[in-house]
Structure 1
Amino acid sequence: MNAPGTRWSAVMTVGPQVLLVAVAGFVLAVEGSAAVVDLVLCGVASAWVLGVFTLRPAWRERAPVMTVFVVVLILLTAVLVVRTPWFGFFTPALYVYAFRLLRWPWQPVGVGAVAVVAATAQAYDVDKTTAVGLLVYVAVVLANAGPLCAFAWFARHAARQEAERELALAEAREANRGLAASLAENAVLHEELVVRAREAGVRDERERMARELHDTLAQGLAGIVSQLRAAEHAGDDPPGWRRHVATATELARESLADARRSVHALRPEPLRTARLSEALAGVAERWSTTHGIPVRVETTGTARPIPPEAEVALLRIAQEALANVAKHARATRVGVTLSHLEHETALDVRDDGTGFDAAVGDGGGFGLIAMRQRIEALSGTLLVESEPGAGTGISARVPAERAEVRT
């Protein structure tokens, strides 16, 4: 079956002509002057091939023209074979033309017709007037036509499968391009939403803190200033002076209490109603449910109170470490351990993921710099242990002595 863009080599275009001339020369040598009619028919066939196929490359893509070309050439060859069976040696060229030029479903018809011509040449000496001779002739035709028609069918089936595979691959590539474009667009939209949400959160928090400061600290400090000025003017009135100073002192206590309440309100939500160990367990459980990775949380040692800022720091480090595991580690298990030691409180987060070369840097994108800054602000330490393929361990420690410092 000829497909658009099929290339024909010089052997394919000139070879049939050479084969036809060679057979004609052999027939001339064998039969002499009796082969004149055969030679004329060979000339007609050669001119037909030359004028319609060899010198007309553009016509090879025109299915109707090539169908007529093959049919006429088969008929000419059939006449030659009936006259002289030696022209059966030209049938291989006919097979090539039938397979390459005829479109489905005419291809197996053309191949079958060529098989009949070839069988006629092969069974030329068989007496076809008898039943046995006729059966032999039919058997020879089937022996030629059967395998080649079956090959034509299998070639057609394989070509259709290949075309379907190419179509499926093209559709898959197009779908992948669309998916990549959608993912890129979603990533941009997500980034914009994150930025807007962060800006909105910062703006809302600033407004809340401004209201809080105005309603508590600013008013309290204004009252203290007012009472101290009144005490300054009551220098000759000791009872009045003491009264103003006492009022200013009370206002200072109330303002301090308001400041502590404001600072307490800034603590993470998990720490507002639970201890650090319980908050860690809750954070780990929610993270495990979200990402489908089992997390084991353990608390060792005797629990002792630690400053709120230390609790916040350890909780934030645990959250950041788990977030990094989800983003980068491709882990199957994670362990979180809170250890209350004699002189310090330690938080360890370990995973069995891909790890990285800790000697080279912070593993890129793991956020370890922010963790280290947070823990070092509390005079603590942050250690990172990791190797490619061996998982990652993060250990944050704060000194227990800070629990004795209260404000």
Structure 2
Amino acid sequence: MSIEAELRAEFDRWERNEKVFFAVLPYVLLSICTLITLVLPFWDVSLNLPLVLGLTLVIALWVGWFHAHPRWQESGPLTGLYYVGLIVLGASVVTLAPWYGIFTFIGYVHAFLFLKGRWRYSGVAATAVIQAASSTGGLSGATVNEWLVLSLVIIVLAGAFFRFAELDDRRNHRQKRALAELHEANVRLEAALAENAGLHAQLLVQAREAGVQDERQRMAREIHDTLAQGLAGILTQLQAAEQTAGRAEVWRRHVDNAKNLARDSLTEARRTVHAVQPEVLAEARLPEAISDVTRRWSQVHRIDAVLTTTGEPRPMHADVEVTLLRAAQEALANVAKHARASRVGLTLSYMEDLVTLDVRDDGVGFEPGTRRADGAGGFGLTGMRQRVQRLAGRLEIESEPGGGTAISATVPAIPAGAGR
């Protein structure tokens, strides 16, 4: 059990015990006075026993009626009526039997419990006056001056003690309120922790799903950029070799191209499985890697292709270089498959905050809004766009039928070694 829970339980036990004690106290005091009243006639025959016992019964019924009706305790006027009745009955019985001052002590307690504000101190003063009369043996037991002086002394003392009791009660109420607020805060905290635990579990599931999805997309992009393009190139070369079977030199060139493409595709497939950067980037910087890819593509497809580099080339983060290299490969693959172009120009531009790759051909072009924009329904430009957007970059495509195609991939210039 927490300290807060133990304190709340302790307060609850104290309040229950206090409530029982104050509920029983009037009857205990009244019983003591009644016992004295029953014994005293053996020494004081002048005591009006029936009247004293009658007033005792009325007092018991009056207090019992008040405790049996909680509605009276919640109403200021009804509580005031009860207290006035208690004081009047207490003063009456003290006049006949001074020892009932023992019972009238309850006036202090009930003033504290049931009266509010200045009425509390009025109740204390009234009870003190009755207590003074009881201490002097009734109204006939002392002079008026003695009674007044004693009443004043008792009022001052009782008022002082009452004030201390009131301050202590306020402190207890503040502690109780603080404990209640602490309990509410703990409940809210537990709810928040439970909610956070649920959100954390949900985030873990979503992160796992996102990781799986991201890995699937990565594999799809890599397979498309390596195996799919390689197999397409191999098929093209084999078809060309089949058509030139009668010309040995040309046939041999197409077969060699197919073998080289197969070898390169196998190497890239292995690197894809192990999430290693492309071989050309492992052995050269980005401009040289794109230039090598462009040169080999030009040799295979017999299309003029030239790379131009602007700005100051510098090492970039691996993701930046892989994204731009794959963009170049995809753009050239699309030119070979669809453009029927005679010339391709690539421009790699290094700027202060950005790196841009532009690929422009003089082919047949297309409508960018059609399915042909994604490689005739394939994964081509979609995968390229995903790569670029993963780096908070942008991919722009400009084309029109008969007007060639221009593709521009722009990504942040994240230097090598920097975390993303």
Provide TM-score, normalisation by structure 2. Answer: 0.50
- Residue identity in the other structure for 2:196: L
Is 2:68 aligned against 1:54? Answer: no
| CA deviation after TM superposition for structure 1 residue 156, in Å | 2.8
Q: Return the match for 1:194 from 197, 204, 207.
A: 207
Q: Can you list the C-alpha shifts for 1:117-147, whole angstroms capped at 9, x where unaligned?
A: 21232245554437xx754542243234422
Cα distance 1:112–1:152, how it changes in 2: closer, same or farther (>3 A)? farther
User: Where do residues 64-83 of structure 1 align in structure 2 (5 Å cutoff)?
Assistant: 64=75, 65-83=78-96
Q: Can you list the C-alpha shifts for 1:257-285, whole angstroms capped at 9, x where unaligned?
A: 3554566574379xx789xxxxxxxxxxx
Q: Can you list the C-alpha shifts for 1:49-84, whole angstroms capped at 9, x where unaligned?
A: 2x2333675325631455433332222222333454
| CA deviation after TM superposition for structure 1 residue 159, in Å | 3.7
| SS of structure 1 residue aligned to 2:229 | helix
| CA deviation after TM superposition for structure 1 residue 176, in Å | 1.5
| CA deviation after TM superposition for structure 1 residue 16, in Å | 3.3
Partner of 1:324: none
Cα distance 1:268–1:261, how it changes in 2: closer, same or farther (>3 A)? closer
Q: Do the aligned residues in 2 keep the contact of 1:123 with 1:137 (CA within 8 Å)?
A: no
Partner of 1:141: 155
Which blocks of at least 5 consecutive residues in structure 2 are unaligned?
1-14, 284-420
| SS of structure 2 residue aligned to 1:182 | helix
**Matches of 2:169 and 2:116, distance apart in 1:** 8
Q: Can you list the C-alpha shifts for 1:90-110, whole angstroms capped at 9, x where unaligned?
A: 2334444444x5143344443
Cα distance 1:10–1:243, how it changes in 2: closer, same or farther (>3 A)? closer
User: Where do residues 1-400 of structure 1 align in structure 2 (5 Å cutoff)?
Assistant: 6-7=19-20, 11-12=24-25, 14-32=27-45, 34-36=46-48, 39-49=50-60, 51-54=61-64, 57-60=67-70, 62-63=72-73, 64=75, 65-99=78-112, 101-105=113-117, 106-124=119-137, 126-129=142-145, 134-147=148-161, 149-213=162-226, 216-223=229-236, 225-226=238-239, 240-241=247-248, 243-257=250-264, 259-260=266-267, 266-267=275-276
Which blocks of at least 5 consecutive residues in structure 1 are unaligned?
235-239, 275-407
Q: Percent identity?
A: 15
- Residue identity in the other structure for 1:141: I
Partner of 1:312: none
| CA deviation after TM superposition for structure 1 residue 247, in Å | 3.3
Cα distance 1:152–1:26, how it changes in 2: closer, same or farther (>3 A)? farther
- Residue identity in the other structure for 1:190: L
Cα distance 1:208–1:60, how it changes in 2: closer, same or farther (>3 A)? closer
Q: Do the aligned residues in 2 keep the contact of 1:227 with 1:247 (CA within 8 Å)?
A: yes
**Matches of 2:264 and 2:40, distance apart in 1:** 123
| SS of structure 2 residue aligned to 1:121 | helix
> 13-22 or 58-67, which moves further after superposition?
58-67
| SS of structure 2 residue aligned to 1:220 | helix
- Residue identity in the other structure for 1:44: L
Partner of 2:361: none
| CA deviation after TM superposition for structure 1 residue 161, in Å | 0.9
| CA deviation after TM superposition for structure 1 residue 19, in Å | 1.9
Aligned length: 259
Q: Do the aligned residues in 1 keep the contact of 2:227 with 2:265 (CA within 8 Å)?
A: no
Provide TM-score, normalisation by structure 1. Answer: 0.51
Cα distance 1:168–1:189, how it changes in 2: closer, same or farther (>3 A)? same
**Matches of 2:98 and 2:26, distance apart in 1:** 24
**Matches of 1:19 and 1:268, distance apart in 2:** 99
| CA deviation after TM superposition for structure 1 residue 217, in Å | 1.5
**Matches of 2:174 and 2:24, distance apart in 1:** 30
**Matches of 1:185 and 1:155, distance apart in 2:** 44
**Matches of 2:211 and 2:133, distance apart in 1:** 89
| CA deviation after TM superposition for structure 1 residue 40, in Å | 0.9
Q: Do the aligned residues in 2 keep the contact of 1:53 with 1:59 (CA within 8 Å)?
A: no
| SS of structure 2 residue aligned to 1:187 | helix
Q: Can you list the C-alpha shifts for 1:195-237, whole angstroms capped at 9, x where unaligned?
A: 4422431342243134224653202332454477578x65xxx
- Residue identity in the other structure for 2:47: A
Cα distance 1:109–1:171, how it changes in 2: closer, same or farther (>3 A)? farther
**Matches of 1:194 and 1:171, distance apart in 2:** 33
Cα distance 1:10–1:193, how it changes in 2: closer, same or farther (>3 A)? closer
Cα distance 1:218–1:94, how it changes in 2: closer, same or farther (>3 A)? same
